[in-house]
Structures are given as C-alpha cells and as structure tokens.
Structure 1
C-alpha cells in the first residue's frame, strides 16, 4: 500500500500544536539547560575585569591593569545603580566578598585615585583574583558542581563542599527514595484494584472506575488539607486510636509534616496513574491462558506468577515509570505536608527561583532531574518488551 505524504493543509493543521509544544515545552527546557551552564551576569557587570584577566595564567597576582579594571567596573556599577546586584552575586561565590566590594566602591568614590591594595589587603590574595577570572567567564560549571555538593577550590581544583553545605546529594537521594517508595506502594495497592476492575461485572467495574477517577476531579489542595485533618496529632486517626485505647494520649503517631506524610499523600494522589495503565492491559487479556494453565495442573499461585503476571508486565512498567517520573518533580505535596524532613529536591529548586534568585543553580538541579527522566524514558521500551509468557 502506497504511503500518503502529508499535504500543505495537513501541515497547517499540525502547526498550532507544534507551536504550542515549542513555546511551552521545548523553549523552557532549552532555556533551563542554557541557564545552568551560561551565566553572563558577572561578565556583564565587570566587563573590564573580564578583559583584563582573560590572558592571565593564574600564577601570583594579575597585572596592574586588572586592579585598574576592577576599580573602573566598581565605579561604573555605583553610578549605574548595579552595585547591590554585583555585591550579591559575588557574595554568593565567596561569603564576605560582597561587603569588600561595597566598601571598596565607597572608598573609590571618595578618593578615586586610591590603589585597591591600599584600601584592603584582601585584594592582594591570588585566590580572590583566580575566582574573579573564573566567574567572569560566561560559561561555567559552578552551578553543576554546587548541585552535586562540589565547588572550585582557591587554586582552581574541584573539591567537596563543607559538611554544613552538603545538602543537594542528600536531597536528591531522598527524592529518588521517595519516588521509589511511592511507586512500590502504588504497585502493591493498585495491582489488585486493577485486577478487580478488569474481572468484575459491568456495574461494579463502573463503580470502581469512578472511585479511581474521583481524585482527578478534586483539587490537590483540598486532598492535601483532608489528609492533614486525618493525620495530624489531634486528627481523626489519632483521636480514634486514643479513644479505642490502642494508643496513650502521649503516644500519638507523627504522620504529618514529615517524610511519612509526604509519602502517604503522594501515594493517594498518584495511585490512579498506576491503576489505569495496568487496567488497560488487564482488560485486553484473554482468560484462555489461565484456564490452560489450570487444566495442565498448575496451582493458582503458579498460574499467576508464570502466566498472568508476565502478560501484565507492560502495564506495570508503564504505570511504574509514570508514577516514578511524576514523583521526582512533585512540589506542592511536600510543601504542604512535608515539614522539614519531607522536603524534596523540587522544593530547593523553587527556593532558588523565588527567594535566593540563584536561577543558575535552580536550572542545574532541574537539568539533573531532566537527565534522570530522559534516562528512564530511554529504558521504558526495553522494560515494556519484557512482557509475555516466561519459558
């Protein structure tokens, strides 16, 4: 059969969708990847310094022109009203450097001809100049190093962050652990439910499908608030257990504003995303395989393990990957019910975007999550192909 080539009219019909995908998906992702490695802020704020340090080999102190260039850039920043922005940006790279920049700028305004070394002896530190030479380059690996709890040392080597600042690898490990836990719990709870939906009669199936779809029609904020009412120390669950004598009043369960609360609410929210793919696979399976296995003398568990489960494996893989990927980027639920110990990497990304304004670090953290998602997406076809009867 001859394949039909798309016509001009067909391309025009697809064009709005392509434009929507580019504007809302491809564009933001490209901007995030670019922002994670391209940071021209210091290069724009200190153009003379960047030019003066371009050919410097990093040994000893830079030439006198570099000192003059820093003074000229500081005066320009003070006149242009960008001094606070410059001080904040440099202080992010080295604590205390912002105060040095502001003090030096104020001194240069009163006595323009003063040498930097006469104003503050810290300008005689080669480490400071190596940092300026590195950070005034538009392309940098600093954000990715920070996202992995590393940094550039004073001599330019890569070293681990101080113990008090190593938070991102732990948050990433916690995020992956929560995503795996939520996926496993969704599989344990959702697989029997999907099987019941696929094997029940039309009326019961409709009721079960309504129960599964009901969370999609309820606001996430409402659901999270309902779980807070149920799980808090004075909530319905703890009050019931205390009233029944199963718990003493001082032994109430801590089920909210921690990692436990985050997992419980995420399982409730994401369970339909596992049930529906598995149900779609189960509803298309023929019962002939199970009947043939039973007629050959196989016990029910053996039939399930060697016949039924392998046939439903594509649905399990699709639902599991969908739940895992959605769990990686969850933000609202940990923010509402996670407390201090239930925060995930997405909460740190939001913090740097909204409060610290370190968009480069936020972009680097987001790029790492994107790399994990892409890796899982590349593995999905191989996982789905493993379905079928086992020999």
Structure 2
C-alpha cells in the first residue's frame, strides 16, 4: 500500500493527533506539578509576601483621622485651604475631638498629627480636655479662646494634610523631608538628617562587609576547590557548621570575645602586641567583624560552586605556552570564576543591607543601620507608616542593586555546580 494511503487510512493516528496528545499530556503534567506546589505557594503568600505588601502599603496609608473623625475629614477635604474654615468645620472639629476622646482614639490621632508638627499632640489633648460640656453659641470663638493656634491658617492646613489618604508624608519623612504648608518639599540640613545618613551608613557597612568577605572567602574557596575530595569535604564542614548555630549565639560569642577584658584583647596584651585593650566592640570595628564572620560562608559557597566547574586544563595550557603561574591565574582562572564572585557579592551585600542583631549588639551610637530604625519605629514609636516607608526604600534599593548586578555579571544566568 502506498505511503499516502497509509497516512489516510481510517483509524490510523495522524501527526496532528499525536501533537495534540503530547500537548494534552504536558498540560496535565504541568497542572499536577502546580497542584503539588500550591500548598507551598499559599504558605509563602500568607506568611511572607502578604505581610511585606501590607507593610509597604502602610507607607502611603493615612487612616487615623479618616477612621476617627470621618465628618471632619470630609469637611477638610472640601475646604480650599485659604484662611481658616467656617463655623461648621469648627463645630465638626469639636464633635470629632469629643467622639475620639470617648472612643479612645484621640491618642492615635494626636500621635499622627504630632508627626506633622511636634506640638500638635498637646494642642489636641488640651483642647479635648477643655471643651465645654454644653455647646456654645459659636464654636469658632470658643476654640480660638482655648488656644490661639486654632485661628492660624497653618494649623488647619496641617490638619487637612493629615486627613488626606493616601499621603506622601511618610515617604518624605523617610528621607528627612517634609511638605510645607505651601505644598513645597523641604529637606533638613545634612548635619541634622537621620534617615539619609542611616541609608548611607547601611550601604557603606554592607559594601565594606562584602569586600572583606570577598578578600577572605576567595582563597578559602580556591583551596576547597583544588584540594583532594577527602580533604576538601572535611574542611567544608568548617564552612557549613556555622549554619547550624543560631545567629544570636554567634553574635553573642563575639560580644564576649571582643570586650576590653575579653579573649582577644587578653591574648594581644599577653603576646606584647598591645599595651592596653583595643576598642573592638560598640563601634564600627565590632560590626564589621561580626557581620563578616556571619556572612563569610555565603561568599565561600557561592564562589566554590563555580570554581568546581572550572577545568584546570586552561591554566596548565597557559603555563605550557610560557605564561607565569601568577599571570595564568589572573588572566585565565579568575575571569572564569567571576560569575561566582558576582553571585557571592550580591548575596552578601543584600543580606547585609537588612542586618539587625549584629549591629544592635556590637555597634555603637553611630553605627545604626536602617533595619534598626525600622525596628525602632515599629516597636517603640509605633509609627508603622514611617517603618513602611523606610522598608519601601530598602526594597527599591535592593531591586536596583539586583538590576545592576544582573546587567554586569548576569546573575539570573549563573550555573552552579
């Protein structure tokens, strides 16, 4: 029978049928894989992604006044911002203060307004305490009689701005700036800035730790990659064991070692290398030592995984052609390990950006990193909006660093092992 007849014989499968069956099988396999991974995806969404997104959303949310004083918020939203509002708005202010005080929300509102102007909390609390029990004929002169600041246009403009949601106030405050009553953006002087200096300090410490880890980790990774398998596996345990120890335990150990009367200073003075205890703790040196020790294994493993795939044939070939061993190492071996160096530097740098425990225990007053300020806002100041703004800038900066590293060394194209 001719081949064309065989292809068109009734009941025989065609090429299109085979392709459709193959695609159907692939879709079924993909769906099964998705169903297997679905619990993990839901867990990550509920415990990791959703909390981060909620915190970042707090950087522009402004719900204190709208939730506690909705009528006043609507009136301020309709006000044009010129002069002072009318009598009706003053009456809504008095009613809102009384209701917020009775519901226990006045402290929340006062804290939010105190963020815009430091004396606003005392103004609201004193006004709420001194409100007359019976409604006066006119609330405007009554409130102005309690405090002259209620007759100042700037007070009402700040109140209107604090009632707006979403708001850029937290994002501005996170870079030591604020919006003036006229709508312009004003930055505080560099010598008085807190958060800008913290960002610069965080980047500086992270870059220094990354450099130290690279200088210390590259020779160790090279040694592990070129030793016999038996010796390399034994030494690899020394790199992996720190992962089995709590970060707090390792940092506390350095706290003991670096003290003026600790092991390191006692050893240095015992050997005659120092005549008095060196300042190794509660300063930048302690932060760098502790963070380098914690993050060094990440650098070693990232570089080692690439070095294991580098064949020694290329270096031997360069030496056989007359190249000096050092020249062959620098011009032949190191370029082949740059993907591992890039991945290790990126990993260490990003991890160092969000470090909290080590700088908090080993650093001093001038070594606060941005993570410590975020913790201060959430745990002590209860200013979740500012904490969210600081976190948003940190996430944005991390994304920029990833983009730059990816363009330079191609992180997402690295092959490990």
Q: Mark yes or no: TM-score above 0.5.
A: yes
Counterpart in 2 of 1:51?
Answer: 74
1:292 aligns with 2:287: no
Q: Which moved more, 1:297-306 or 1:118-127?
A: 297-306
Q: Partners in 2 of 1:30 and 1:39 — Cα distance?
A: 16
Asked if 1:75 is matched to 2:98, the reply is yes
Query: Partner of 2:381: helix, strand, or coil?
Result: coil
- How far does residue 204 in structure 1 lie from its aligned partner after superposition? 1.6
Q: Say yes or no: does 1:196 pair with 2:232.
A: no
C-alpha distance after superposition, 1:103-123 (max 9, x if no partner): 111221435325211211110
Moved more, 371-380 or 201-210: 371-380
Aligned residues: 386
Bigger drift between 339-348 and 171-180 goes to 339-348
The within-5 A match list for 1:1-391 is 4-5=26-27, 6-113=29-136, 114=139, 115-161=142-188, 166-249=193-276, 252-385=277-410
- For 1:337 and 1:210, the matched residues in 2 are separated by 27
**C-alpha distance in 2 between matches for 1:343 and 1:373:** 19
Distance 1:77 1:112 in 2: 17
CA distance in 1, matches of 2:72, 2:52: 32
- Which consecutive residues of structure 1, in runs of 5 or more, have no partner in the other structure? none
| Residues 162/48 of structure 1: CA separation in 2 closer, same or farther (3 Å cut) | farther
Query: CA separation in 2, counterparts of 1:109 and 1:236?
Result: 68
Secondary structure of the residue aligned to 1:20 is: helix
- What's the offset of the Cα at 1:58? 1.6
Q: CA deviation at 1:46?
A: 2.0
Counterpart CA distance in 2 for 1:163 and 1:80 is 41
Shift of 1:326: 0.2
- Measured after TM superposition, the shift of residue 18 of structure 1 is 1.3
Q: Which moved more, 1:43-52 or 1:55-64?
A: 55-64
TM-score (norm 1): 0.94
Q: Residues 48 and 72 of structure 1 are in contact (CA less than 8 Å); yes or no, is this contact kept in structure 2?
A: no
Asked whether the 8 Å contact 2:350–2:398 carries over to 1, the reply is yes
Unaligned runs of 5+ in 2: 1-18
Structure label with greater radius of gyration: 2
Contact 2:112 2:162 in 1 (8 A): no
TM-score (norm 2): 0.88
CA distance in 2, matches of 1:102, 1:77: 11
